[in-house]
Structures are given as C-alpha cells and as structure tokens.
Amino acid sequence: MVSRVTRNVAISRLWWVLCISSLVGALLVLLSLFGFVFVRGVAAIRPEIFFTVTQGIAGGLANAIVGTLLLVTLAIVLVVPVGIGAAVWVTQFAPDRLRIVVRLSIDVLFGVPSIVVGYFLYVALVETAGWGFSLVAGSLALAIIMLPYVYRAADLAFSAVPRDLVEASVALGARPLTTFVRVAFPWALPGTLTGLLIGVGIAVGETAPLIYTAGWSNYMPTLAPTHSPVGYLTYVVWTFINEPFKQSHQLAYAAAFLLMIAIFVTNFVARAGVEYWASRTRSHS
C-alpha cells in the first residue's frame, strides 16, 4: 500500500513535470518558428533585393524596405509629441479627475483591434477625405497603434522621477521649467525610449492597418503625403506566399527574415541597450 504522503509527492511531481513540459513545448514552438524563418530567410537573401524594386511578384524589396522605414519614421514623428506630451501633462499638470480619464482612454485604445483602426482611417481619410492610399494615412494608422505603448512608458517613467530630486532642484532656486528640463526629463528619458522602441517594433510588424491606408506600390515611395500608395515589408509576406511561384516565395521569406531582424534589434536595444545607458548616466550624475 502506498502511503498518502508518497502519493501526494508523486502527484506534485507529475504536475510539475507537466508545467515544465509546457515551457519546453513553448520554447520548441519558438525554435520551430525561428528556425523556419532563419533557414528559409537566409537562403532567400540576395544582395540585389536591397537595390531592386518588386516587379509584379518577383524582383527585389527595395521599395518595401524604404516604404517601411518611411511609414515608421513618420509615425514616430507623429506619435512622440502626442504620447510624451500627454504623459507629461498627466504627470505634471493634470487635475486628478482628468488624469484618470486620459489613462482610461489610453487603456481603451490598447484594446482596439488594429484592423478597426485601419478601417476607420480608410473610411475617414482614404475615402471620405479623398486622400487615396497614402503615406500620411498609413503613418497615422501606425502612430495610433504605437500611441498606447509610448504613452504608458512615458507616464510610468515620469511618475517614477524621485521626489527628492525634484524638491532639491526647487530648493536650489530652479524655475519649474528648468527643474523639468534638467531633472525630470533626463530621469524619465530611458524608460520613455524603451516604450517608444517597443512601439516601433510593433509598428514595423503591422500589416492589417496598412493594407487599406498605405495600400501597396511596386515603385519606390514618393514623398508625396497623399494620393501615392506606399509599399512595405509585411505586405510582401502576406501576399507573395500565396502566389504559385518560387521567386515570390523567396521574396516573402526574405521579407519575413528582415522583419524579424528589425524586431530583434529594436527589442534588444529597447531592453538591454537602454538599461545599460541609463545605469551609466545615472551613476555619473
């Protein structure tokens, strides 16, 4: 007869084995995904794809790479003043009640599916305002999707500025603006930057909100704000894999590979790089 204690220990072991296998399972899925994208991606990367544009379902990716960079850059320009500005207002100026309302609306924005943002902008800007598929419509979509990430990180970072530092600055006779620029802002910068970079990672990988705002183009993007569709990498992954041609599959794999590299880099810089930089600057001051 097995004692109750032995049985309980055995049950405990069994459940923990299941838990640990779920972690191993998750890591195996991740490995399958990485392995798949890297093996196929590396095989598909040729130097020419960086210099030629897509021609129908073949050619290179130059237009998509430049398009993604343009869309994301403009989205950063749009989202930084709004996201960081709002966080500064909430943490430095806002009355309690409004503070809650702004935070709530950001929470709501976090839950809005990206396709809804995309379709809203399609209807509002592309159709009703008559902009057509365009750089600005696409970048606005990305900016709205990045906004909650940027705002939350900035809000957290500015809320975490140590009180004694601010009080010391005020006690030394600094004006409020000087205190903000010289004390609060430098302290909150690393955390804000992490949020911004994570948002950039999300934006680089977005597809759904761009399909009907930026559209797609086989040509190099022009800098025209409206009436000129823009190509981007995620579109290539989505459509070219369904074409029955080997060259188009190669382009899809290459685009997926480039996307993964871009996201690795932004994630790594966002977490490790910014932390290292922050720890250095803070220990010096």
Closer Cβ to another protein, 56 or 85, answer by number: 85
Question: Do 53 and 65 meet the contact criterion of CB atoms below 8 Å apart?
Answer: no
97 sits in the region (left: phi over 0; alpha: psi -120 to 50; else beta) called alpha
Q: From 33, 65, 148, select the one nearest 102 (Cα to Cα).
A: 148
For the record, the structure tokens of 160 come out as: 């975490």
Closer Cβ to another protein, 45 or 115, answer by number: 115
The only residue of 101, 129, 168, 220 in contact with another protein, by rule CB under 8 A? 101
Closer Cβ to another protein, 219 or 238, answer by number: 238
The only residue of 28, 32, 42, 48 in contact with another protein, by rule CB under 8 A? 32
d(C-alpha 82, C-alpha 86), whole Å: 6
Does 160 engage in binding with another protein (CB under 8 A)?
Answer: no
The only residue of 28, 33, 129, 160 in contact with another protein, by rule CB under 8 A? 33
Q: Which residues inside 248-267 make contact with another protein, applying CB under 8 A?
A: 252-253, 256, 259-260, 263-264, 267
The only residue of 2, 171, 172, 177 in contact with another protein, by rule CB under 8 A? 177
Select the span of 89-97, 129-137, 184-192, 222-230 touching another protein (CB under 8 A).
Answer: 89-97
Does 88 engage in binding with another protein (CB under 8 A)?
Answer: yes
* Minimum distance, C-beta of residue 43 to another protein, in the bound complex (Å): 13
The only residue of 83, 190, 229, 231 in contact with another protein, by rule CB under 8 A? 83
Kindly report the length of the chain: 285
Bridge partners (DSSP) listed for residue 54: 59
Q: From 212, 66, 63, select the one nearest 133 (Cα to Cα).
A: 212
The only residue of 206, 213, 228, 250 in contact with another protein, by rule CB under 8 A? 206
d(C-alpha 141, C-alpha 145), whole Å: 6
Q: Using the 8-state DSSP alphabet, how is residue 231 labeled?
A: -
Start-to-end CA span in the chain (Å)? 68
* Minimum distance, C-beta of residue 197 to another protein, in the bound complex (Å): 11
